[in-house]
Structures are given as C-alpha cells and as structure tokens.
Amino acid sequence: DGGITQSPKYLFRKEGQNVTLSCEQNLNHDAMYWYRQDPGQGLRLIYYSQIVNDFQKGDIAEGYSVSREKKESFPLTVTSAQKNPTAFYLCASSMFASHEQYFGPGTRLTVT
Amino acid sequence: RKEVEQDPGPFNVPEGATVAFNCTYSNSASQSFFWYRQDCRKEPKLLMSVYSSGNEDGRFTAQLNRASQYISLLIRDSKLSDSATYLCVVSPSGSARQLTFGSGTQLTVLP
C-alpha cells in the first residue's frame, strides 16, 4: 500500500532533550512538508523540501531542523531551543507539479 | 487579519440537513483552493479541490468567488459520518506549493 508513515504515534520527552520524528513516504512524491497543529489552530508550516538535499524554512522554523538525504524520508528534529514543543506534528507530501498534499497520521509530542 | 478565516462553529445539525461553510482569504494572488476534512485527533484528508467554475462531488459542492476572495462548501443530506472539522486551504502564488490552512469549522451531525 502506498502512503505516508510517521513514527512514533505518541512521544514523551523531558524538557531540554532533542527528539527526532520520522516521516517516510512510498508515493514517489517529490515534495515533503512538516506542520505543527496546536489545539483550535490551523496547521503551521515548519519546513518543506521540494527535492533531495534541499529544504526551506516555513513560517515557524525556529527550534527545528530537518534533513532530506533520500526522496522518501524527511525526518524532523525538535531541538531544546524550541520554546513550546508540545504539539501534534504532521508530515505531508505532494507531487512536484501539484498543490494537493497528502498527510501521514501524525505524531503527538509531549514535552514536560 | 488572518490569511484564511473560517467560522469555527461548532455547527450542530440534524441528519439529513443541508449545511454550508464559508471561508475568506486575504491574498488575492492565491492560485489553488481546497477543502480538507479532519477527524478528531487524526490527520487532515483532502476532501476536494475548488475550481473557479465550482465543482460537485456527490453530496458536496464547492464554490469559489475570486472577486470576493470567498470559498464555500455545501453538504447536502448530512450523514452522521460527516461529523468532522472542515479545513479551508489556500495556496499562494509561486512554485513552492505551500499551503495556508484555516483553523477549521467543526461540524457535528446529530441523529
């Protein structure tokens, strides 16, 4: 089955620790995206990548880092510099020529 | 002003009712428009794209008014399974394929 997988579904960390969220897609999509969603708010773009080995900051990139070494993988690291990391993190992908994005099931990160 | 604004609701309607959601966007250069559906604690899923001529998919009809920068979604004959949050999504001009999401409108269809 083609799709986007994110792991883990739930993640708990102590303040001050870096944590990496996984995102893998087998849709052969060129572009991949990371969003965060807070309760009652819309999705906000953290980082996006249109091709391998290239990525751009979104609206709220501070405290986050990404890599795109393979077309199918786009991991997100939430660093200790992110002031309010507890949120629902969603990864998405799309074909290069399309605006339609498809989402993975998300990772709920709780930092205490 | 938010880039994409939606009435947050909640909309509580009886099964079989017709319900309409509205959305306004601020960037007049926006090129692509979508409605996504998000179930509680799940990921958003693409419901339909919105075209200038309007489009229909079964019980769902989407309309775009570029002059007023306004998008709508009409759901006819509501089903219990339609209960979800509906996200209005806009893509600005440019090649980056970025999307701007509204905060969503919550719908509950009651038996």
CB contact set of B41 (below 8 Å; sequence gap of 6+): A88, A108
For residue A1, the model assigns a pLDDT of 62
DSSP string over B54-99: -EEETTEEEEEETTTTEEEEEE-S--GGG-EEEEEEEE-SSSS---
User: Of A44, A99, A104, which has the smallest distance from its Cβ to B91's Cβ?
Assistant: A99
pLDDT-based confidence at residue B94 (cuts at 50, 70, 90): low
For residue B79, the model assigns a pLDDT of 98
The answer to whether the beta carbons of residues A106 and B42 sit under 8 Å apart is: yes
Cβ neighbours around B93 below 10 Å, total? 11
**pLDDT tens per residue, range B59-79:** 999 999 999 999 999 999 999
For residue A88, which residues of chain B lie inside 8 Å, CB to CB? 41
Could you give the CA distance from residue B35 to residue B50 in angstroms, rounded to a whole number?
7
**pLDDT tens per residue, range A67-100:** 999 999 999 999 998 999 999 999 999 987 778 8
**Chain A interface mutation, best of B42, B43, B64, highest count of A Cβ atoms under 10 Å:** B43
For residue A23, which residues of chain B lie inside 8 Å, CB to CB? none
Burial class (CB in 10 A: 0-12, 13-18, 19+), A76: buried
